[in-house]
């Protein structure tokens, strides 16, 4: 080998060394990562680059049991990237997770569908050529966030508990709240024995004077529906609101409410007694909970205190709730109906 060849080889080796490591190894290059991420992730347009796969090459092989803990971590990472790319904090909701040639994770972001592709071991996000792994990408993203002013707080995945607390804040005649009630029905029925579910009615209070957005008639039905929950639990409640939403209107609810209750075998006289005796007590408790949690919009779903903003269909609700279990029950493996509405609109 000539001295010239030796020199060229050394230059090539040096060049490889310079390019072998992630850009974030040098903090001064951090700002460049923003540009790289912006090129790789078309987040503002509502999609992710799919790596080496094209839509024609994607073949769904099977529905499988995803690792919800890993999915939750990836969800948080994507929220960080969205913040870098958009400049505002966003909340993603997992729509579904399927096994294709690789794992496909679909997200809902304010009604837009996005998807990413992850290796089967949850180690790599395909399409990110500047990083070697999800761990590596997360490190780079965290360093970029540290350089940005006003970095928001990001929860590292779901705050998991043995029995997740699920609270759905609604108004009995908010159409968007009814949409959420109908959508969450099958998820609640599936997980009723595994979660701590409670509907909470958004009621305003001034002393012992109470109000609901759509008037006194809605307030009265708020109280009745809470009584039905107290007497017949979450399964009785979801069955009732699903039926009353279909059969009754705000104009006729003062009499119509009895028909769905009777059809479900509920004791109408007992409900009326509770209504007459506990109206103020229930209204006061609902107003207090609404105020303490700072909720004003119907629907608002809190899972272990964290707000959900994904799709309003049974499968989306189930997937999100299941991410909050420390140990997922078998019920989380069942696929529910994913036909429903995106997270748009509230009262």
Contacts of 206 (CB under 8 A, 6+ apart): none
Please indicate whether residue 230 or residue 97 has the higher confidence score (pLDDT): 230
> What does the pLDDT read at residue 294?
83
> What does the pLDDT read at residue 44?
32
| pTM exceeds 0.85 for this model | no
CATH second-level architecture of 165-333? 3-Layer(aba) Sandwich (3.40)
Contact 130, 40 (CB under 8 A): yes
How do residues 245-260 score in pLDDT, each as one tens digit? Answer: 999 999 999 999 999 9
Residue ranges of E strands in the chain: 93-99, 103-109, 112-118, 165-170, 196-201, 204-206, 209-211, 300-303, 306-308
How do residues 30-67 score in pLDDT, each as one tens digit? Answer: 443 444 344 334 333 333 333 333 333 333 334 456 67
CA distance 16 to 316: 45
Cβ neighbours around 74 below 10 Å, total: 24
- pLDDT-derived band of residue 23, with 50, 70 and 90 as boundaries? very low
> What does the pLDDT read at residue 59?
36
Q: What does residue 344 show for φ and ψ, rounded to 5 degrees? A: -120, 135
The two tokens of residue 193 are 């024995």
How do residues 121-179 score in pLDDT, each as one tens digit? Answer: 788 877 655 556 788 888 888 888 877 766 566 665 557 889 999 999 999 999 999 99
List the chain domain ranges: 19-147, 165-333
CA distance 253 to 270: 18
66: left (phi over 0), alpha (psi -120 to 50) or beta: beta
How do residues 75-106 score in pLDDT, each as one tens digit? Answer: 888 888 878 777 777 667 676 676 766 788 87
């Amino acid at each position: 080998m000539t001295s010239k060849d030796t020199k060229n080889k050394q230059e090539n080796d040096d060049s490889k060394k310079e390019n072998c490591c992630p850009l974030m190894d040098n903090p001064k290059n951090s700002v460049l990562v923003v540009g790289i991420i912006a090129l790789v992730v078309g987040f503002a347009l509502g999609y992710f680059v799919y790596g080496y796969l094209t839509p024609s090459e994607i073949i769904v092989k099977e529905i499988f049991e995803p690792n919800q803990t890993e999915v939750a971590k990836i969800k948080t990472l994507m929220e960080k990237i969205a913040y870098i790319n958009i400049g505002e904090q966003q909340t993603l909701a997992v729509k579904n997770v399927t096994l294709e040639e690789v794992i496909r994770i679909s997200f809902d972001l304010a009604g837009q569908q996005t998807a990413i592709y992850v290796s089967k071991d949850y180690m790599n996000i395909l399409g990110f050529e500047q990083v070697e792994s999800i761990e590596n990408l997360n490190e780079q993203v965290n360093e970029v966030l540290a350089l940005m002013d006003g970095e928001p707080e990001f929860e590292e995945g779901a705050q998991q508990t043995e029995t997740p607390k699920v609270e759905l804040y609604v108004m009995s005649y908010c159409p968007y709240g009814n949409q959420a009630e109908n959508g969450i029905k099958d998820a609640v029925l599936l997980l009723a024995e595994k979660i701590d579910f409670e509907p909470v009615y958004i009621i305003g209070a001034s002393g012992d004077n109470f109000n609901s957005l759509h008037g006194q008639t809605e307030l009265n039905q708020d109280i009745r529906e809470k009584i039905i929950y107290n007497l017949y639990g979450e399964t009785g409640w979801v069955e009732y609101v699903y039926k009353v939403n279909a059969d009754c209107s705000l104009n006729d609810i003062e009499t119509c409410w009895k028909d769905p209750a009777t059809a479900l075998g509920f004791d109408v006289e007992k409900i009326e007694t509770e209504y007459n005796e506990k109206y103020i007590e229930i209204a006061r408790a609902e107003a207090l909970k609404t105020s303490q949690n700072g909720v004003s919009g119907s629907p608002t779903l809190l899972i272990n205190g964290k707000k959900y903003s994904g799709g309003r269909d049974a499968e989306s609700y189930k997937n999100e709730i299941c991410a909050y279990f420390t140990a997922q029950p078998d019920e989380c493996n069942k696929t529910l109906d994913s036909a429903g509405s995106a997270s748009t609109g509230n009262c």
